[in-house]
Each structure stands twice: as C-alpha cells, then as structure tokens.
C-alpha cells in the first residue's frame, strides 16, 4: 500500500534505536525526508544515511532544543509535514522500573515530566506554525499502555504519559479544523534497549525475581504483564502503525489512541 509519504518532511525524535529507528527506516522507505533526532547516533542510524536523512544531535531536556530541531528541518527540507514524538521513557541516567510511589523524589518527578511531556509540548509548539504554512500535517505522540493502566510501578512515568494523552486530545480538537491531525500510539513492553541493555528493565526485574535477563524478557515479563500474545512487542510493529497515522491515508483519524501492546490493556 502506497502511504503517499513521498517527498514529505518528517521529524522523528529518539531516532537512534528501538521504535524511533524503525520509524525512521520505514518513513525513508516510503520516500519521506526525515530529520532523525537523538542525543547520540548509532551504527544502525548511520547505515540509513542518504540525501533524504538529516541527523540532528539534540537533548530534549534542553528547552531550546525543539525550536532548533524544527528550524533545521525547515532549513534542510523546506518545511514540516510530520512530527513523531517518540523520545521518552527513563530520562537520561535513570533506570526503570521503580516499584513504589514512594521511590521517586520530587526531582525524579520533574525529570520524568520534562522528558516525557514538556519536551513534547515544546516540540509541538515549534512544529505547528510550520505545519500550518503547509496546509496541515500529522503529529504522532508515542505514549504507553501505562497511561491508561494505573499501577504503583513507574507511577511518575505513567502519570506523564496520561498527561500526554490528554494533550493529544486537546491538540486534535484545536488544530484538526486547520488540517493538523494528532494521535497517540500506546505500546506495551517493546523489545528495545530499555528492556534489553545491561542495567535495563529486564535486569532490574531479574534481580527482584531471582532469575536472569533472558528469562524475564521471554517469560517473566509477558506473564507478569498478562500479555495475550505471550511476547514483547517488536519495534517494527509499532513503527508500522505510526507510519500509517503519519500518512494521508489516515486523513479521517485524529484524537485517537492506538494500542500496540501484545494485549496488555484488557479494558473495553
């Protein structure tokens, strides 16, 4: 299916690995020109290099970064049509999960909201005027199943993502009549570095459960989270949904939330 993304300009944050890398690759394959934003590059991102890819090093904890990123996109490619706010999860230097409401400090809460909500607010604020100049666009915010599944584990992260869902609805209402669609994609646990790297979620859970990283990824986490498919989500599965929402083929889809979560959310 042609997603009609050829020649369109997209900004993807958190683009160096995991979901963001898969989104970047997918959009490039569809003919889009992509500004790939990350704190550091990776060999996998470097391998995608070509005339349609601009890599921008930026720290989204810096309030000035979002405006600079959008300016680079306009300078390089002449405008902006698609924004994928994928960067999120543990702020730099933080390891999740945390298992109790009492675990995060005030500073932990501030950092979590700065990275997972306020950085999105600033990036959207910078992007919308540029999209309006093009007659519209698509914004996809990567949220989490935890935004709708309250739990004591990662309570600060889940609260930030719940705020992101609310923000997305509000943006879709205000800017939908002007041609800008805004949606969320809510992954469950995804097989990314957050889980798989040394000191990541799998190692933390393994220490609590008295087992090893691979066992957590392959059986403990799917059972603990009651995943219907019995496995973690693959990054490409999330990227495919994001690409469809970015596409004009989704012209009547706005203010919606799409769960790509292996059956994590059980509610109607």
Catalytic annotation, residues: 157
SS3 state at 260: strand
Cis peptide before 112 (omega within 30 of 0): no
Q: Residue 213: CB partners within 8 Å, gap ≥ 6?
A: 196, 202, 203, 206
Q: Are 229 and 263 in contact (CB under 8 A)?
A: yes
Q: Are 85 and 141 in contact (CB under 8 A)?
A: yes
DSSP run (H or E) holding 118: none
User: DSSP of 157-210, one letter per residue?
Assistant: HHHHHHHHHHHHHHHHHHHGGGTEEEEEEEE-SBSSHHHHSTTSHHHHHHHHHT
């Amino acid at each position: 299916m042609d997603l009609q993304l050829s020649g369109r300009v997209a900004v993807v944050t958190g683009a160096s690995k995991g979901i963001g890398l898969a989104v970047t690759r997918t959009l490039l394959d569809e003919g889009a020109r992509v500004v790939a934003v990350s704190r550091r590059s990776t060999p996998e991102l470097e391998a995608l290099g070509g005339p349609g890819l601009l890599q921008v090093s930026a720290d989204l904890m810096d309030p000035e970064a979002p405006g600079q990123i959008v300016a680079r996109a306009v300078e390089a490619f002449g405008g902006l049509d698609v924004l994928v706010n994928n960067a999120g999860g543990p702020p730099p230097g933080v390891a999740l999960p945390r298992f109790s409401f009492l675990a995060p400090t005030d500073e932990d809460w501030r950092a979590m909201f700065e990275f997972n909500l306020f950085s999105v607010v600033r990036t959207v604020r910078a992007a919308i005027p540029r999209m309006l100049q093009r007659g519209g666009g698509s914004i996809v915010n990567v949220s989490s199943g935890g935004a709708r599944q309250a739990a004591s584990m990662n309570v600060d992260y889940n609260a930030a993502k719940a705020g992101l869902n609310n923000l997305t609805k509000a943006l879709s209402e205000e800017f939908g009549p002007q041609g800008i669609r805004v949606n969320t994609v809510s992954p469950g646990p995804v097989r990314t570095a957050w889980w798989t790297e040394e000191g990541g979620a799998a190692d933390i859970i393994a220490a609590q459960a008295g087992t090893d990283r691979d066992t957590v990824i392959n059986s403990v986490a799917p059972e603990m989270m009651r995943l219907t498919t019995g496995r973690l989500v693959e990054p490409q599965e999330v990227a495919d949904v994001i690409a469809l929402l970015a596409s004009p083929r989704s012209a009547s889809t706005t203010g919606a939330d799409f769960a790509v979560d292996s059956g994590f959310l059980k509610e109607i």
